[in-house]
């Protein structure tokens, strides 16, 4: 980790300790499992079944990693202390994500694909484990379900998107109706990360048609056990040439949910959803900074080793320009992400607004910059950059994929513009 300007020493110390500990955890706990299961991790035809779901052995290995990570204090470290997490602040989170992704690189960090199957589970996020959204969890959920999530025994998914409602949250068709003291939910969810494997789900459904139609509430978040009658995991979605993924399609057919399993208040679902999505956007930005630095590290080393026309290619101005552009993108992404994380910390402490505009800026810029960096890295490596011997093409695909979840690049730009048109023009 660099000596970042404006980062207090206590946060630097925290980040150094966590990052080192997390990397040691991977070497001591994850690598042995990777070696044990290398036959399936190295061959997607064995890693996924005919439906595109991870085979049971892979799912059990992930559960083992989560539980060991929870025991080591890493799994829920980014969740707030109020729900039993470690309460690691946003800037520290960003720097830990950056360091983790920079060290391991894209070849080992894409969830559900190859070795990433086991290197993603050590740290929970809002799409699979304890997060800030659980500050809205009702008492029955806190008592019965949250401890299992904190221990890594069980996982959750964020069930918002639908076949006809991705970025347009207000268009969701899933409905929840009152039936005595319970709610009954019917609908289909799609593109749900961890959906095929989740034990629980935060399901978003319309409870007030008129309010939802006018974008004034009307969407409610429910905590649902995926084993309840009427809940089904229909499919895993194959993505970007792979035989499976962590994304899935879920169906709810008159799923009965107790009335006291509402997250927050009835009609508060949109605010809860945006809290989770905002957390995800910042984490993606930080991860992309780390992935980009991995690509630059490899490109610098290769450019000084590989020779053409009798000299290292690093001496050619065309290569130097590519390396410089990569550095510009990384520097801009990193410090924009850290500044935004600082604003998030202030907002959590009640000292400022939630930086909606800035979160969208760093998500859009960092992901797009990451793809540019990998494109340049492939170019620097020439033919080697296209091979599977190096994970650069995997990094490019990761960056391309991340331009979609938690709001597309176009949605980020719409959010930025709308915030400015409302008067938010502070930078």
CA-to-CA distance for 376 and 76, rounded, in angstroms?
Answer: 35
CA-to-CA distance for 173 and 218, rounded, in angstroms?
Answer: 12
Confidence of residue 66 (pLDDT cuts 50, 70, 90): very high
Per-residue model confidence (pLDDT) at position 117:
85
Domain shared by 277 and 411, yes or no: yes
Residues 228 and 99: beta-carbon distance below 8 Å: no
Confidence of residue 327 (pLDDT cuts 50, 70, 90): very high
% residues pLDDT > 70 (the chain): 97
DSSP 161: -
Domain shared by 123 and 172, yes or no: no
Domain shared by 246 and 326, yes or no: no
Of 252, 218, 220, 217, residue with least CA distance to 234: 252
CA-to-CA distance for 167 and 142, rounded, in angstroms?
Answer: 30
Of 147, 156, 15, residue with least CA distance to 90: 15
How far apart are the two ends of the chain, measured CA to CA in Å? 26
| 241 vs 289, residue with greater confidence | 289
219-249 residue pLDDT tens: 999 999 999 999 999 999 988 777 888 999 9
Domain shared by 277 and 417, yes or no: yes
Tell me the pLDDT of the chain averaged across its residues.
93
Domain shared by 372 and 404, yes or no: yes
12-53 residue pLDDT tens: 999 999 999 999 999 999 999 999 998 998 888 999 999 999
Q: Does residue 168 have a pLDDT over 70?
A: yes
Domain shared by 293 and 398, yes or no: yes
At residue 207, the 3 state secondary structure works out as coil
Domain shared by 408 and 276, yes or no: yes
Per-residue model confidence (pLDDT) at position 108:
73
Confidence of residue 258 (pLDDT cuts 50, 70, 90): very high
Q: Which of 268, 299, 314 is the last residue of a domain?
A: 268
| Mean of pLDDT values over 384-413 | 92
Domain shared by 343 and 362, yes or no: yes
Residues 150 and 130: beta-carbon distance below 8 Å: yes
| Mean of pLDDT values over 152-159 | 97
| Mean of pLDDT values over 301-326 | 97
CA-to-CA distance for 198 and 8, rounded, in angstroms?
Answer: 37
| Mean of pLDDT values over 299-303 | 98
Per-residue model confidence (pLDDT) at position 3:
55
Domain shared by 416 and 274, yes or no: yes
Residue 408 burial by Cβ neighbours in a 10 Å radius (0-12, 13-18, 19+): middle
Confidence of residue 109 (pLDDT cuts 50, 70, 90): low
Q: Does residue 112 have a pLDDT over 80?
A: no
Q: Distances from the Cα of 401 to the Cαs of 36, 119, 321, 331, 406, in angstroms?
A: 29, 18, 26, 22, 11
| Mean of pLDDT values over 185-200 | 97
For residue 52, the Cα-to-chain-centroid distance in whole angstroms is: 20
Domain shared by 88 and 188, yes or no: no
Q: How many domains does the chain have?
A: 3
- Rg over CA atoms, the chain: 22
Q: Does residue 1 have a pLDDT over 90?
A: no
Q: Does residue 170 have a pLDDT over 60?
A: yes
Q: Which residues pair with 111 in a beta bridge?
A: none
Domain range enclosing 146 = 9-128+141-150
CA-to-CA distance for 170 and 186, rounded, in angstroms?
Answer: 16
| Mean of pLDDT values over 334-356 | 93
Of 407, 322, 296, residue with least CA distance to 362: 407
Per-residue model confidence (pLDDT) at position 110:
53
Per-residue model confidence (pLDDT) at position 111:
44
Per-residue model confidence (pLDDT) at position 42:
84
CA-to-CA distance for 327 and 405, rounded, in angstroms?
Answer: 25
Domain shared by 262 and 285, yes or no: no
β strands within 277-426, DSSP E: 307-308, 311-312
Residues 294 and 105: beta-carbon distance below 8 Å: yes
DSSP 127: T
Query: What's this model's pTM, rounded to 2 decimal places?
Result: 0.93
Domain shared by 311 and 403, yes or no: yes
Element (H, E) at 238: none
Q: Does residue 115 have a pLDDT over 60?
A: no
């Amino acid at each position: 980790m660099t000596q970042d300007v404006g980062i207090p020493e206590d946060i630097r110390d925290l980040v150094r300790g966590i990052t080192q500990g997390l990397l040691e955890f991977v070497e001591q706990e994850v690598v042995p499992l990777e070696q044990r299961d290398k036959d399936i991790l190295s061959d997607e035809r064995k890693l996924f079944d005919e439906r595109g779901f991870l085979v049971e052995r892979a799912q059990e290995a992930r559960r083992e990693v989560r539980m060991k990570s929870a025991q080591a204090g890493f799994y829920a470290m980014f969740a707030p202390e109020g729900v039993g997490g470690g309460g690691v602040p946003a800037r520290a989170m960003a720097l830990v994500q950056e360091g983790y992704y920079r060290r391991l690189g894209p070849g080992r960090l894409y969830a559900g694909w190859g070795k990433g199957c086991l290197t993603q589970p050590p740290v929970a996020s809002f799409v699979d484990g304890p997060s800030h959204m659980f500050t809205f969890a009702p008492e029955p959920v806190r008592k019965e379900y949250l401890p299992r999530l904190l221990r890594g025994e069980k996982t959750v998914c964020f069930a918002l998107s639908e076949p006809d409602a991705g970025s347009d949250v207000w268009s969701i068709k899933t409905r929840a109706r009152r039936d005595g003291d319970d709610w009954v939910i019917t609908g289909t969810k799609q593109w749900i990360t961890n959906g095929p494997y989740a034990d629980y789900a935060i399901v978003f459904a319309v409870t007030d048609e008129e309010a939802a139609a006018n974008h004034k509430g009307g969407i409610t978040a429910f905590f649902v056990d995926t084993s309840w009658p009427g809940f089904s995991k229909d499919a895993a979605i194959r993505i970007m040439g792979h035989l499976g993924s962590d994304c899935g399609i879920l169906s709810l057919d008159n799923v009965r949910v107790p009335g006291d399993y509402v997250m927050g208040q009835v009609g508060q679902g949109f605010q809860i959803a945006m809290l989770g999505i905002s957390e995800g956007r910042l984490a993606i930005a930080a991860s992309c900074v780390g992935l980009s630095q991995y690509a630059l590290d490899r490109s610098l080393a290769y450019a000084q080793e590989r020779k053409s026309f009798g000299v290292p290619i690093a001496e050619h101005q065309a290569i130097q320009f590519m390396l410089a552009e990569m550095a510009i993108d990384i520097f801009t992404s990193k410090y924009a992400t850290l500044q935004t994380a600082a604003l998030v910390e202030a907002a959590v402490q009640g000292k400022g607004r939630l930086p909606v505009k800035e979160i969208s800026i760093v998500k859009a810029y960092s992901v797009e910059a990451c793809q540019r960096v990998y494109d340049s890295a492939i170019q620097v490596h020439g033919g080697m950059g296209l091979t599977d011997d190096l994970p650069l093409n995997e990094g490019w695909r990761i960056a391309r994929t991340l331009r979609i979840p938690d709001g597309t690049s176009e949605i980020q730009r719409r959010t930025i513009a709308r915030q400015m048109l409302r008067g938010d023009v502070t930078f």
